[in-house]
A = this chain, B = another copy of it.
Amino acid sequence: ILRKKIAVLAGDGIGPEVCHEAIKVLDAVAERFGHRFTYDYQLMGACAIDATGDPLPESTLAACRAADAILLGAIGDPKYDNNPAAKVRPEQGLLRLRKELGLYANIRPVTAYDILLPHSPLKADRIRGADMLIYRELTGGIYFGEKGRTENGAFDHCTYTRPEITRITHLAFQSAQNRRKKLTLVDKANVLETSRLWREVVQELAPAYPDVAVDYLFVDNAAMQLILNPKQFDVMLTENMFGDILSDEASVIAGSLGLLPSASVGDKAALFEPIHGSYPQAKGKSIANPIATILSVAMMLEHFGLQEAANVVKEAVQDALVQNVLTPELNATSPSTTEQVGTHIAQCV
């Protein structure tokens, strides 16, 4: 019997709805396997700005530090997006949280589910069997460099240090060793100095993983290859900004952004969140797909060492797919609500 405390940052938009279903599934796991999960609900994002003026209140940060894992729904509100002058933004909360907790590796699995092939914009034969893991560096690069205005312009500085690159590169190599033993570094080494440093570090570490084949792709080419031939990828390693773009792009392989989970890990903390955003247009309509969040919870269970429980959750999700108990973007003719999908999956656990 395992006891775990989970900080829940449900966030904005559809965040609370999808978290609610994921927790339903966690509770089902606890009951089936006799574990004990407790939840500490905290504010982050636009909801935290509205309540406290701060997208990441100190109390939230403290709760996250004290927790065994963090579950995040989604953050973001359009009222901040088209206001370039806004001083406080929901995203700052998430970025600060990643940085404060040292969540340097964002891991995003992308799988083509056979049963959803008809939903992908890509032809079935291109994606059938695609199964990759994107390792996106999450606490460095242009996201966290100095930024500001000059008299007549603006700047954002992209920086990377060797240790920042080294630690995630080791994780990516280790992960490749447990999979199909292929690592692809995506960079823009023909233009960027930081990319050349990435390439250097990966080349230096490669001999320590002789069973892993390494290749290198420029990011423009990678954006194309992801669509042309996604099956070529096993583990993809890349810096923060490129990873943001490529992992959202790769979601088309799965057939819906609503299916893609992620884990953000550091040496002392781990956060689990769907890769989709707060989808404000869907808020309160019970049409948001909770599966990405539920699969994030499966990643959390793996992180706890509960591999069997994780597998049970993944199989329960598979059941919802097979039974077509799905939200409208995947089942337009007889859609289930967010709640119904969550309940179905929890009952399968």
Contact = CB atoms under 8 A, between A and B. Distances in A.
Interface in A273-291: 277
A257 B224 contact: yes
A165 to B, nearest CB: 9
B194 A156 contact: yes
A237 B143 CA distance: 21
A291 B46 CA distance: 49
Nearest to A126: B121
A188 interface: yes
As for how many copies of this chain the complex holds, the number is 2
A44 B129 CA distance: 42
Interface footprint category on A:
35 or more
A193 B147 contact: yes
A161 B157 contact: no
Interface string A78-113: 001110100001010001000000000000000000
Contact of A203 (B82, B216, B242, B248): B82
Contact of A84 (B91, B196, B221, B277): B196
Nearest to A221: B248
Contacts of A228: 121, 252
Nearest to A251: B224
A189 B84 contact: yes
A305 interface: no
A12 to B, nearest CB: 12
A24 B245 CA distance: 40
Nearest to A253: B227
A49 interface: no
20 contacts: A81-B216, A82-B216, A84-B196, A84-B199, A84-B203, A123-B123, A148-B193, A150-B161, A154-B193, A155-B157, A156-B193, A156-B194, A157-B157, A188-B241, A221-B248, A223-B248, A224-B248, A224-B249, A226-B249, A227-B252
Interface of A: 76, 80-82, 84, 89, 91, 95, 121-123, 126, 142-143, 145, 147-150, 152-164, 188-194, 196-197, 199-200, 203, 216, 219-221, 223-224, 226-229, 241-242, 244-249, 251-252, 257, 277
